[in-house]
Amino acid sequence: MVKSLSPKAIKEFFQRLQARNPDPKTELKYSSHFELLIAVILSAQATDASVNKATKILFSVANTPEAIFRLGESGLQTYIKAIGLYRTKAKNIIKTCEILSNDYNSEVPCNRKQLEQLPGVGRKTANVILNTAFGESTIAVDTHIFRTANRTGLARGASVRQVEDQLLKVIPNEYLYHAHHWLILHGRYTCLARRPKCGTCTVYDLCLYPDKVTTQ
């Protein structure tokens, strides 16, 4: 039987992440809920750094649903062509801008169902928006969180939804709001896919990873 962390270990796990980074933030750059939405849509299968590089220029030219819609698909593509799947993302973003302008007074909805009806917005993206923009205790399970949760024994699951549901069950309420960013950053910079930095890991002794290493 595959072991999972005990409730006591899970609490200690997040106490340590909190002590190391009391107020974690997304690494995406944005100045409005709309800019965050566009950045998160663009971040699918792309790095935050590449998105920030593109949106720095894009948002200086167009940072409202109406302004981006006026660019059109081809116009938007010129700003995001360095990002993976840029053609599909441009198509979805233009449609989303049209919907926001026509149906939501150019505001990003704070309702999961409405968010997930926007082109290019799935459950993960909706979770990011609900957490980062609207302060809900959601967890958007990306590749970093999926790996970290399974590897450490924090939450086991064969799918991202299974891991999400399990995390929401086992993480103490006082840590739920920031858990999303703590786990992403831990997976991005410490619990790496190929060579996890176990030697500098703040939760090393709690981790149930069977192949823990001590080299960085």
What pTM does this model have?
0.92
CATH architecture of the domain with residue range 33-132? Orthogonal Bundle (1.10)
Distance of alpha carbon 77 from alpha carbon 135, whole angstroms: 31
* DSSP structural state of residue 25: -
Look at residue 3 in the predicted model and tell me its pLDDT.
87
Distance of alpha carbon 112 from alpha carbon 197, whole angstroms: 36
Tokens of 2: 């595959």
Look at residue 162 in the predicted model and tell me its pLDDT.
97
Q: What percent of the chain has pLDDT over 70?
A: 97
Looking at the annotation, which residues are catalytic?
124, 142
List of the chain residues with pLDDT < 70 = 1, 211-216
Look at residue 216 in the predicted model and tell me its pLDDT.
40
Domain boundaries, the chain: 7-24+138-200, 33-132
Look at residue 210 in the predicted model and tell me its pLDDT.
76
What are the tens digits of pLDDT across the range 183-204? 999 999 999 999 999 999 999 9
* CATH top class, domain 7-24+138-200: mainly alpha
Look at residue 131 in the predicted model and tell me its pLDDT.
97
41 neighbors 48 (Cβ within 8 angstroms): no
